[in-house]
Amino acid sequence: MVRTGWICACEDKVDIAGTTTQRSTGTPSSSAGGFASTDFQTFLRMLTTQLQNQDPLNPMESSEFAVQLATFSGVEQQMRTNQLLEGLASGPGLGGVSGFSNWLGKEVAVTSPAAYDGVPLTLLPPELAGADRAVLLVRDSGGNIVSREDFPMDGNAVTWAGSLSGETPLPPGRYSFSVQSFSGTTPLTTESVPVYQRVEEIRANTNGAVQLILRGGAQFSADQVVAMREPG
């Protein structure tokens, strides 16, 4: 059988023996990987068919064969590059950081130790279902309880300035907070207390997860934030 036509793996179409298959040249989508793989398999099938049906007295020139492979390889590589760029733009990393840029300067509540330097901290109270009394437990950086005070039960945010009662305040340092609730004299639960802290920097770690650098240098994942507000 006489060979008619050739395979053109151009950006516009793939052509063999007069049969043309259109290819999309638009912006890559999430299905681009599957498309590229399918298209490559189609190319191989058509090339195999062409080789099987070529005239043995007039076979395809090796240079023509090499050109077809090189052309298709170039298009395939470009498609994969576009996929990679699309993933970088829509995924984590720098794209993820830019999405949190409006958090800079805001105050976020996270359940973690907070730096106290004389500036009052705002504590976000946990739910105290079934309790009629609560006690605020304050721990230092070593995990030692350094203060116990009655905690308001009205559910509103609480200002802590080294103390709740106005007694001698604790010195500057890093403190963590929890509330122990009671029903009468019976202990119910002990819940960690989120503290509002200012966001001073936003980073992406090696895994692409967004990290918040808070006032005092503490670093936390963005998914640990339970509340956010304008600085007071």
The 3-state secondary structure of 31-60, one letter per residue: CHHHHHHHHHHHHHHHHHHHHHHCCCCCCC
DSSP 8-state code for residue 171: P
Give 184-229 pLDDT, tens digit per residue. Answer: 999 999 999 999 999 999 888 777 788 888 888 888 888 889 899 9
In the prediction, which pLDDT does 3 show? 47
- Write down the pLDDT at residue 78: 67
Place of tokens 């808070």: 214
Q: For the structural domain made of 112-193, what CATH number should be given?
A: 2.60.40.4070
| Bridge-based pairing state of the strands 195-204 and 186-192 | unpaired
d(CA 197, CA 105) in angstroms, rounded, equals 10
Check residue 138 and give its pLDDT. Answer: 96
In this prediction, residues 164-188 reach a mean pLDDT of 92
CA distances from 163 to 126, 137, 152 (A): 18, 11, 13
Q: Where are the domains of the chain?
A: 13-90, 92-107+197-232, 112-193
Q: Is the pLDDT of residue 119 over 60?
A: yes
| pLDDT higher than 60, residue 6 | no
What whole-number distance in Å separates Cα of residue 30 and Cα of residue 34? 9
Residues 13-55 have pLDDT tens digits of 444 444 444 444 444 444 444 555 566 677 778 877 877 787 7
